[in-house]
Structure 1
Amino acid sequence: MNIKLPIKGRFIKIEKFWKLLGPGLVSGASDDDPSGIATYSQAGAQFGLSTLWTAIIAFPLMAIIQQMCARIGIVTSQGLTGTLKQHYSRPILYLMLLFSFPAIIMNIGADIAGMGAVGNMLFPSIDATFFSVVFTIILLGLIIYLPYQKIASTLKYLCIVMLVYFVVPFLYKQDFNEIIQATFIPTIKFEKHFIAIIVGILGTTISPYLFFWQASVEVEEMKNKNKHIIVNKKIIHEINQDVDFGMTFSGLVMYFIILTTGTVLFKGGIHQIDTVEQAAVALKPLAGNLAYLLFAIGVIGTGLIAIPVLSGSLSYIFTETFGWEQGLNKKFHEAKGFYLIIAISLILGLSLNYIGISPINALIYTAILYGLTAPVLIAIILHIANNKKIMGKNVNNVMTNILGFLAFLIMTLAAGILIYLQFIE
């Protein structure tokens, strides 16, 4: 009896913690979408373990930005776009739209293409385009017809798929001394391709679309609970826990993908990944069928998480800008504009498959575009989070500002170096 009680108590604590998790966990999992997987795989294949340290650097930076966005959402009871519209000039709002729209559409298209390619790899007799269309239709149907709570719950449980990437590296013999050194001693190469990968990694981990999603979906959570949440230290602490767990999860997935491709592919002489499925196929002869299969399943699973988040974030941006009805908790007839934007974004994304852009190039271009635009949005978020007229007593503390400014500085520096190298090389 004495043995069973502690075990039962642990399960109760785990269950309680699982219920606490929500938008932060989903944000973290969607951060490792096929775009992220492609970028991390390219980094590992091209440069071995040289970029492994970026997982350690990126975690506190992406966590602190997401925490700010979540706090903005619960304090203002509106998304990031709505806050900008109410308190800032229209040019800033339109600048944010200009920066966000093309990158998000390209991200959706690249993710759909990546999922289609992997579907074709698992079932070679069926064309990749067919899978892309089917995944698009399935996602659109689920987003429109499922109520918010079902969508949130489904996304949350889909995050479990990401655990496959924790297993893959251990299906191959590893040199742990080399791994530890690459993790804690940064390697920096002042050349265009290496800097482009660094910008891509930072752009796909500190992704602008997640800023909008985090703020808006926190508001959605409040609406779903049918009550106005009084913002206090306990609420903020719980939200920060959710965000920290999600970003830790995201960072670990990123770490293990770079570790897998940096040891298996790089050491196997495979230094160029041209399509998403190549990253999985290349693992097959070197690390075995299981590694190949798990990697492929992970690509589809992460796409199913990320695409609703991507299309949802874009729809929140537009509907808040133009004052339309919005929300995943509303039925189609209650928020037609909201769901039409989701549908249009998925169709536009799917159409990118037919204009000849390589999926892997689209994924990496998206990550780099995020890396170039994120500094502008981080600067805006920092300004909002320190504005007492908007945030009241819930403005940033000193440590949050230090980490937030560090994120802005690192992103700006990396983007600046990349632009500089484009002109001198």
Structure 2
Amino acid sequence: MIKNWFKNLGPGPLLAAAFIGPGTITMCTIAGVSFGYALLWAMVISIIVTIVLQEMAARLGIITQKGLSEVIRTEIKSPVFKTFIVVLILSAIVIGNAAYEAGNISGAVLGLEAILVNPSLNLFGVTFKSFSLIIGALAFVLLYIGNYKVIERALITLVILMSLAFLTCAILTKPNVLDILKGAFIPKFPENGLLIIVGLIGTTVVPYNLFLHASLVKEKWQKISDLRIARKDTFVAVVLGGLVSMCIIISASAIQGESVSSAADLAKGLEPLFGSFSKYVLAIGLFAAGITSAITAPLAAAYVASGCLGWSSNLKSIKFRCVWMFILVLGVAFSSTNIKPIQIIKFAQVANGILLPVIAVILIYIMNKTSVLGKYKNNTKQNILGFLILGITILLSAVALGKVFL
């Protein structure tokens, strides 16, 4: 039975790999330290929202055998609006992922630095952190092989490792199960908690995951009959990813101190409470989370660019490889030299803030087109959920833009 489950396992775990990155870990850590279990319900909402949107993306990919950006390019008829959407998508996903890639690699480096010394390397008068170069090289090899099954298996292994690490950490804290259930199913809005609530949802409902998922499902499944398996794969993976995030919140709740503001601080904070074992477990989880995101971010950018510009989305095509190489090299350079591309990150936040509700609207519009999906278009229940989620994405965007401009 386990063998069959692994055989039918699709790109779902890659979604978990993509949205559980250093940013998610940091946000969950702050939520746990600041508010204990009180904001676990925000993760439950995040899981529901993500399942609904990702199911739409998976259904679109399987039925049309096209990526989301390809469908958008062919279905939007107005040249002006199409140009605006394509530029917005490329700005948010390609440029955005280039800016965020440094954070993904840095997250993996932090995991290693919690248990190992990071030697520096001097090349041409520039000092590089060795761990950043090693992680970049590992991601490069996996992506350059250009075999979907190899990438999938590597990421599934890392996701399992990450899940076990954070689950072990949460268990070590010996949490009160009743308090966890209250936090998960009874919404509370503590003072100064609104931005954290929005942040928890925002780090889970990731725009580029919609593009990545629609592109990856067609690599795995080509038959309409596979839709049932794809839905199960999406549900299991998103719930697993959400539970991992909740485990991080639970782990962080064991520490009460304002000095804890990142996953690295969490690793240090858990050590005196639960011994050095907890530090090593969390370091492994942080490393796995960082490196999985460091692989999926360039991959998503390559799929998006290929779909928007009409290129081949073959993993071994030159243009496809050039995009992910560009993202990865920038990420390694920024991470290993401690350069912080603040203006690029701000630009990416603005672009992503605008993109999320726009893509939600376009996705719902496309999912209702009989000419695209036939009898597999959205039903009434899916549309009601879709429009409720649209309201949430508008709120997320408003807060994200407010953080940049205020």
TM over 0.5, shorter chain: yes
- Corresponding residue number in structure 2 for 1:80: 68
Determine the C-alpha separation between the residues in 2 that align with 1:215 and 1:86.
15
2:115 to 114, 117, 122: 122
Determine the C-alpha separation between the residues in 2 that align with 1:417 and 1:327.
37
Determine the C-alpha separation between the residues in 2 that align with 1:236 and 1:246.
15
Kept in 2, the 8 Å contact 1:28–1:247? The answer is yes
Amino acid paired to 1:321:
C
Determine the C-alpha separation between the residues in 1 that align with 2:172 and 2:191.
33
- Corresponding residue number in structure 2 for 1:201: 200
Matched, 1:396 2:389: no
3-state SS in 1 of match to 2:40: coil
Deviation at 1:260, TM superposition (A): 0.9
Deviation at 1:351, TM superposition (A): 2.9
Amino acid paired to 1:381:
L
- Corresponding residue number in structure 2 for 1:245: 236
Change in CA separation of 1:190 and 1:76 when aligned onto 2, cut-off 3 Å: farther
Determine the C-alpha separation between the residues in 2 that align with 1:417 and 1:26.
27
Matches within 5 A, 1:18-417: 18-88=6-76, 89-124=82-117, 126-127=119-120, 129-145=129-145, 147-161=147-161, 162-189=163-190, 191=192, 194-222=193-221, 228-229=222-223, 231=224, 234-262=225-253, 264-265=254-255, 267=256, 269-273=257-261, 275-328=262-315, 330=316, 335-353=317-335, 354=337, 356-357=339-340, 370=352, 373-416=355-398
TM-score (normalizing by structure 1)? 0.84
Determine the C-alpha separation between the residues in 2 that align with 1:221 and 1:312.
15
Aligned length in residues: 391
Change in CA separation of 1:249 and 1:282 when aligned onto 2, cut-off 3 Å: same
Amino acid paired to 2:267:
A
Determine the C-alpha separation between the residues in 2 that align with 1:365 and 1:257.
29
3-state SS in 1 of match to 2:212: helix
Deviation at 1:364, TM superposition (A): 11
Deviation by residue 1:269-289 (Cα, 9 ceiling, x = unmatched)? 24541x542221221112322
Runs of 4+ aligned structure 1 residues displaced above 6 Å come to 362-369, 420-423
Deviation by residue 1:281-323 (Cα, 9 ceiling, x = unmatched)? 2211123222211111011112232222111110011112222
TM-score (normalizing by structure 2)? 0.88
Amino acid paired to 2:85:
I
- Corresponding residue number in structure 2 for 1:225: none
3-state SS in 2 of match to 1:200: helix
Determine the C-alpha separation between the residues in 2 that align with 1:291 and 1:400.
42
Which structure 2 residue ranges, 5 or more long, are not aligned?
77-81, 121-127
Deviation at 1:382, TM superposition (A): 1.1
Determine the C-alpha separation between the residues in 2 that align with 1:42 and 1:151.
31
Change in CA separation of 1:31 and 1:367 when aligned onto 2, cut-off 3 Å: farther
Kept in 1, the 8 Å contact 2:62–2:218? The answer is yes
Kept in 2, the 8 Å contact 1:45–1:271? The answer is no
Kept in 2, the 8 Å contact 1:28–1:250? The answer is yes
Kept in 2, the 8 Å contact 1:99–1:373? The answer is yes
Which structure 1 residue ranges, 5 or more long, are not aligned?
1-12, 223-227
Kept in 1, the 8 Å contact 2:96–2:348? The answer is yes
Determine the C-alpha separation between the residues in 2 that align with 1:414 and 1:146.
35
Deviation at 1:385, TM superposition (A): 1.0
Change in CA separation of 1:200 and 1:249 when aligned onto 2, cut-off 3 Å: same
Amino acid paired to 2:201:
L
